[in-house]
Amino acid sequence: MNFRFVYEFGRIYGFNTIRRVASYIISSLLIPLSLLFILDIVSKGQLLPFAIVGGLTSIVVSNALLTMTDAANLRLQWKIQDLLAATKLGPTSYMFGLMLNNLFFALPGIALYIIIGLAYHLFTPLLFAAMVVILILLYIAASSIAFFASFFPEHIRAVWGYTQIISLILGLFPPIFYPYTLLPKDLLYVFLILPSTSASILIQNIFGLTPFFQPALYIFPIEVIICFILAAKFVSWRRK
């Protein structure tokens, strides 16, 4: 792994872009604030804790999925991947660079949610640390899925369709903004194949919002490893 490249790729392509185009900060804050607002109004404040932890999860997933459009754009439109293919850099360093880049875009939203969570006394240091670990692992898993999926479309416009589908599957259906207990048991087990489901359940569990669900604890790390291996080993870095 070329750690210096990962850092510089994230800094140059992510941080510097945000620095130059301030509207990214506003747009990154608008979506979480809107979700928080809607959920708070609809549930009359009842689901606010879900809105806060769900909002954090949602930001992590949606920004991780941006890796797909970025990677596809760099491969299909700008041909930057072709440029890098003839270097010692492998897909793993490249993927982590893209992940760090998109993390910069997520940071304003994450910071906002953390401030709101602290204001509502939702976080203790231990719970917060546990949540951060889960979210980092979820970010790696979702980015890996996005990176892997980015290698299938042959045309840049096809990428948008794929991204919508994956966003829906990973970001909307799983119990991110609602208690997992509302899901029928059969459906819950089906949804468990998605890392965002097991991560959301674990986060709800550690904040005491829902009863402890042990399978999620075992399944989640396995999902992260499988997603990562899929992206690091099975992408065709060299074109066919």
Report the interface residues with other proteins, using CB under 8 A: 2, 4-5, 8-9, 12-13, 16-17, 20-21, 74, 77-80, 82-89, 93, 238-240
Residue with smaller CB distance to other proteins, 53 or 72? 72
User: Which tokens go with 73?
Assistant: 């754009």
Residue with smaller CB distance to other proteins, 91 or 117? 91
Between helices 125-149 and 156-167, what is the axis angle to 10°? 140
The residues, any chain, with a CB within 8 Å of residue 165's CB and separated by 6 or more, are none
Query: Cα–Cα distance between 164 and 146 in angstroms, integer?
Result: 11
Residue with smaller CB distance to other proteins, 185 or 238? 238
User: Which tokens go with 227?
Assistant: 């997603």
User: Which tokens go with 32?
Assistant: 């979480």
CA distances from 117 to 13, 122, 134, 202, 209 (A): 30, 5, 17, 17, 14
Closest contact distance (angstroms) between CB of 185 and other proteins is 44
Closest contact distance (angstroms) between CB of 94 and other proteins is 8
Residue with smaller CB distance to other proteins, 130 or 156? 156
At residue 50, what are phi and psi to the nearest 5 degrees? -65, -40
Closest contact distance (angstroms) between CB of 2 and other proteins is 6
Closest contact distance (angstroms) between CB of 26 and other proteins is 17
Residue with smaller CB distance to other proteins, 2 or 167? 2
Closest contact distance (angstroms) between CB of 13 and other proteins is 7
At residue 104, what are phi and psi to the nearest 5 degrees? -60, -35
Closest contact distance (angstroms) between CB of 90 and other proteins is 9
Which amino acid, residue 23? S
Closest contact distance (angstroms) between CB of 78 and other proteins is 4
User: Which tokens go with 7?
Assistant: 């850092």
Q: Report the candidate in 15, 23, 144, 13 with the shortest Cα–Cα distance to residue 78.
A: 13
Residue with smaller CB distance to other proteins, 214 or 236? 236
Write the DSSP assignment of 122-140 as a string of letters. ---HHHHHHHHHHHHHHHH
Residue with smaller CB distance to other proteins, 41 or 86? 86
